[in-house]
Amino acid sequence: MRRSFNKVAVSTKMIGALAAATATAAISALWVEHRARKAERDNPPDGLFVEVDGVPLHYVDKGEGPPVVLLHGNAVLLQDFIASGLIDRLAERHRVIAFDRPGFGYSGRPRDRLWTAQAQAALIQRALVQIGVEQPVVLGHSWGALVALGMADRAATDVRGLVLISGYYYPTARADVALAAPAALPIVGDVLRYTVSPLTGRLLLKRTVQAMFAPAPVPGNFFESVKRELVLRPVQIRAQAEDAAFMIPAAAHFKSRYWNLQMRVSIFAGADDKVIDPDSNSVRLHRAIPHSTLVVAPGAGHMVHYAIPAEIVEAIDVMSAQLLRGPGDSDAAICETSATVEKLPVPAEAKLAAALARSSSGSNSKGDSATAGKRLA
């Protein structure tokens, strides 16, 4: 009799604990949803919307001139390019289109498809057709660089040039991917995104952003533009987790295709990037694309576009030079050097590849060079 009574008591306690946990999770979910809706009311969209394949894409469209498309990285919004000053700088001479990638900011991310880098690239290219953008220079930062590569890979003639900043180009084991993965899972991820993830995200966000900018300090205007509450919404946490899960497969897919990129490619990295190792990624990519240029900025971290925006704008101006040129203008007039630079050594394999390419094309110009790599002084 006593044993039966004990079993009943234990069962009652378990049911009570389960009911309490369920109630706590429900209250947490309601609170998280309330905070998400409040964040959207307090921070309405800055730009325009275009719907592609049933997906609303939010974007900012500013300036006139040769088009430039900006694709942000993980854990941020298109406002990252506002805070860095890139949009305003570029808009002086270009038409600048900055997207919230699917699931970020105010862009949708339906669950009816896998949002790989290739899928995002296809969606954005269809969006560009709808808004009348042809042959843009495409700039991608961090995860956005994978989308930029996807655009160039699937429709090379539609991309005038690539500017790749702090990108992840070669697959490696990464602890951050494993840690982010649970929030991307069905059911389990839904529970986490409405309970634990927003809380841990709130606790870790400042430290995460500090690591992104290190060794430089976080600019005072960063969180004024990239709002914490928008970043911590469940929909964006899902996008961040899924992007993290797709990062290694994307790099594995593209790594054997870099040699086929024929457009101009400019690569930028921070020498002190602690998020993505520049030597294993940007420097290695530069070696794989002999005609690319490379700028490695000392004292800069993952958010190198805040450290050297003038150099990045200069690279885009060079790619757009024919469209920017007016009567009597020269490339030098269009693009003034903004910093003293030191040539990086050209890898032997890059020299050989470039020599073979020139030989096959019949070019005897002494002006050709295998690379135009440089390191900021």
167 within some domain: yes
pLDDT at 355: 37
Does 10 fall in a domain?
no
- Report how far residue 8's alpha carbon sits from residue 134's, in angstroms, rounded to the nearest whole number: 71
Q: What percent of the chain has pLDDT over 70?
A: 71
| CB-CB contact of 47 with 91 (8 Å) | no
Question: Rounded to two decimals, what is the model's pTM?
Answer: 0.80
Residue 358 lies in a domain: yes
Between these two residues, 365 and 3, which has the higher pLDDT value?
3
- In the sheet with 67-71, reading across from the earlier edge strand, the strands are 48-52, 55-62, 95-99, 67-71, 137-141, 161-165, 264-270, 293-297, 374-376, 341-343
Whether 162 is covered by a domain: the verdict is yes
What residues make up the domain containing 222? 48-376
Residue 344 belongs to domain with CATH number: 3.40.50.1820
Residue 279's pLDDT band, with cuts at 50, 70 and 90, is very high
Amino acid symbol at 13: K
Q: What pLDDT band is residue 173 in, cutting at 50, 70 and 90?
A: confident
Element at 284 (helix H, strand E): helix 284-288
Residue 21 lies in a domain: no
In a domain, 369, yes or no: yes
Report how far residue 142's alpha carbon sits from residue 74's, in angstroms, rounded to the nearest whole number. 7
Does residue 43 belong to any structural domain of this protein?
no
Number of domains in the chain: 1
Asked if pLDDT for residue 15 goes beyond 90, the answer is no
Strands (E), the chain: 48-52, 55-62, 67-71, 95-99, 137-141, 161-165, 264-270, 293-297, 341-343, 374-376
- The structure tokens listed for 148 are 């930029």
